[in-house]
Structure formats: C-alpha cells, structure tokens
Amino acid sequence: MKSVHVHYEGRVQGVGFRWTVKSLSREFDVAGTVKNLPDGRVEVVAQGDETEGFLDAIRKSALAGHIENERLETIPRVQGLRGFLIIP
C-alpha cells in the first residue's frame, strides 16, 4: 500500500478541485483527504493499492489545465484513514 502527500500549485482553488478529487477517489481503492491551503495550494493525502492510478486520473482530468506544479512525496502509512474526505 502506497501513501503520498501531494501539493498542487496553480489556479487550483475556486475551480472545484477538491470536489473533483473526491469524485475521482470513488473510482479507486484509495483513502485520504483533500484541502485548500491558505497560500493558494491544494493538499492531497492519499493511500491505497491504487494510489498511482488515482494520481494519474487527477493529472488527466479537467483539473490538468489548472495545475502548474505538483510536489509529491511518499510518506509512511497514515493510521485510521477511511474513505476520502474534503477538509474545509
């Protein structure tokens, strides 16, 4: 099981980014969170057997035109993650 922490930069707030990510998560065996950051980035934490496919789906979705940079790091497994949540 892979766990990742991703920051997306660009015009990623106010364009339905979090809702699209949550919707895409339903198609994959992943759990995690997505939230807007005060500096204008969006943060995704995801883990599961299909994490790579999930991230690829984000890159290929309608969000692609809004993403200028993606910073991804592999992290240790996050205990207690269930489902995929939008954090306000």
Tell me which residues are annotated as active site: 18, 36
Write the Ramachandran bin of 10: left for phi over 0, alpha for psi from -120 to 50, otherwise beta. Answer: left
Q: Give the 3-state secondary structure of residue 60.
A: helix
